[in-house]
Structures are given as structure tokens and as C-alpha cells.
Amino acid sequence: MIRLARVGARKQPHYRVVVIEKDRARNGRSVEVVGTYNPRTTPPSLNLKRDRISFWVGNGALLSERVGKLFAAPLPEVAAVPVTAPVVAPAAEPVAEPAAEAATAV
């Protein structure tokens, strides 16, 4: 089962999205942590390893009601940031050291 496990302090909820056996306690030992959810930020922050969740669902794991809603939510759009080409300095030609030239001339 994939569900939320609370890890925040009192009155400051913060959750991990975990893969856990169904009969274990809410904060019991999990098989894998597949994300985090912080409802206290504006907008709430959600980090999911969608490929790992899809893997576990493919292997028979069920999503809890809340995780199902979070997983089905569309990905937030990233604000368009103008992309500028990085400034690259021209490559300098190798400079031969005078001591090396003197050693080869003898």
C-alpha cells in the first residue's frame, strides 16, 4: 500500500509518501519512501518519484485515497524563464615555455 506517514512536529504536519505493508502502523517501518508532501506551504509542496510509484502500482500496491488524489493532480507548470546562452570565453592557444624551447635547441 502507498500512503502518507506523518513526520512533522505537533501542529506542523509534514508527510512522507511511503510504500508500506497494509497491516503496519501509520508510521511503521516502510519498504520505500517515494515522496514528500508539505501542506503548510503555499501552494502545498509535493515531491513524488512517479516512476517508482508506477512500479509499485504495477506490482499490485494500492494507493490510499489521499495519495491517489495527490498522484492524479496535474504537475505544476514551471514559470517561463528566458534562456540565455552561456558566455564562453574563447579558448586560448597553448603557450610554449621558453625553457622548454631552449632545452630542445641544444
pTM here is 0.65
Q: Express as a percent the part of the chain with pLDDT over 90.
A: 40
Could you tell me the sign of the dihedral formed by the alpha carbons of 57, 59, 62, 67, in that order?
negative
pLDDT value of position 35: 92
Asked whether 32 and 18 are in contact (CB, 8 A), the reply is yes
State the average pLDDT over residues 40-52: 90
Mean pLDDT (whole number) for 89-97: 65
Helix (H) or strand (E) holding 38: strand 32-38
Q: What is the pLDDT of residues 54-81, one digit of tens each?
A: 999 999 999 999 988 888 877 655 444 4
Furthest-apart CA pair in the chain: how many Å?
85
Q: Which residue has the cell 524563464?
A: 81
> Architecture of 2-68 per CATH?
2-Layer Sandwich (3.30)
